[in-house]
Amino acid sequence: MYLLRHGATPPNLVEPPVMQGDGIDQPLAPIGREQAARAAEWLAHRPIRAIYSSPLQRAMETAGLIAEKHGLAVEPVDAIREVKVGRWEGSNWTEVERNYPEQYRAFREDPGVNGYPGGETLQGLLNRVTPALESLMTRHAGGEFVVTAHSVVNRVYVGSLLGIPFARGYFLPQANCCVNIVRWRDGKAKLVTFNAIGHLM
């Protein structure tokens, strides 16, 4: 499985970045389309059997550019849409720390249990993402396929494969249009490539 983060959107590009969650649904910025085109070119010669995506615009647009190279349709998977960030949607972390100091501290200590206010916990996110990805890997065992998802989705899932606690795994790097490669063998997933960005250079 080639697990990608979508290309950059305008909220990704401001400094500090704005949390989009699953509620802010914007298309890619021009640089995001360029990133997706480079990822598509990198994957163009792989024997890709299928392409799946979060239904949010930024992921579907990224997946669409990859799909064009293979003559495939993109299949949306609702279970891999980005985490619900609740009342923090549209904010950056500086604003969150200032406006929600106690909830911010609790989140930083254990986001698996202390989730986004009005949104999801990271344990809840992992519980919906893992079965969906494992189902796809079982379906395509012996073949190669693409999934385009999101920063927090990828961090939480990859962190679980590495055995990293949520409080640390949440901050794993996931560059826009990076590629993680996950191998499925004997009913078990193994991370073999993490946050690859050579195709973007």
> Per-residue pLDDT tens for 145-168?
999 999 999 999 999 999 999 999
* Cβ contacts of 73 within 8 Å, gap of 6 or more: 51, 67
The verdict on whether 15 is a catalytic residue reads no
Among the listed residues 41, 70, 82, 97, the single catalytic one is 82
Residues 148, 6: contact at Cβ < 8 Å? yes
Task: Give the pLDDT confidence score for residue 50 in this predicted structure.
Answer: 98
pTM: 0.97
Task: Give the pLDDT confidence score for residue 55 in this predicted structure.
Answer: 98
Residue 168 to residue 10: CA distance in whole angstroms? 26
Residues 67, 51: contact at Cβ < 8 Å? yes
CATH code of the domain made up of 2-200: 3.40.50.1240
Task: Give the pLDDT confidence score for residue 116 in this predicted structure.
Answer: 97
The verdict on whether 150 is a catalytic residue reads no
Domain map of the chain by residue range? 2-200
| 125: Cα separation from own chain's centroid | 11
Task: Give the pLDDT confidence score for residue 126 in this predicted structure.
Answer: 98
Encode the chain in three state secondary structure. CEEEECCCCHHHHCCCCCCCCCCCCCCCCHHHHHHHHHHHHHHCCCCEEEEEECCCHHHHHHHHHHHHCCCCCEEECHHHCCCCCHHHCCCCHHHHHHHCHHHHHHHHHCCCCCCCCCCCCHHHHHHHHHHHHHHHHHHCCCCEEEEEECHHHHHHHHHHHHCCCHHHHCCCCCCCCCEEEEEEECCEEEEEEEEECHHHC
Task: Give the pLDDT confidence score for residue 187 in this predicted structure.
Answer: 94
Task: Give the pLDDT confidence score for residue 121 in this predicted structure.
Answer: 97
Residues of the chain with pLDDT under 50: none
Among the listed residues 6, 61, 120, 150, the single catalytic one is 6
Task: Give the pLDDT confidence score for residue 66 in this predicted structure.
Answer: 98
Task: Give the pLDDT confidence score for residue 125 in this predicted structure.
Answer: 98
Task: Give the pLDDT confidence score for residue 56 in this predicted structure.
Answer: 98
Task: Give the pLDDT confidence score for residue 15 in this predicted structure.
Answer: 95
Buried b (16+ CB within 10 A) or exposed e, 9-46: bbbbeeeeebbbbbebbeebbebbbbbbbbbbebbeee
Task: Give the pLDDT confidence score for residue 59 in this predicted structure.
Answer: 98
Task: Give the pLDDT confidence score for residue 164 in this predicted structure.
Answer: 96
Task: Give the pLDDT confidence score for residue 161 in this predicted structure.
Answer: 98
Residue 119 to residue 142: CA distance in whole angstroms? 37
Residues 161, 191: contact at Cβ < 8 Å? yes
Residue 64 to residue 53: CA distance in whole angstroms? 9
Task: Give the pLDDT confidence score for residue 31 in this predicted structure.
Answer: 98
Task: Give the pLDDT confidence score for residue 69 in this predicted structure.
Answer: 97
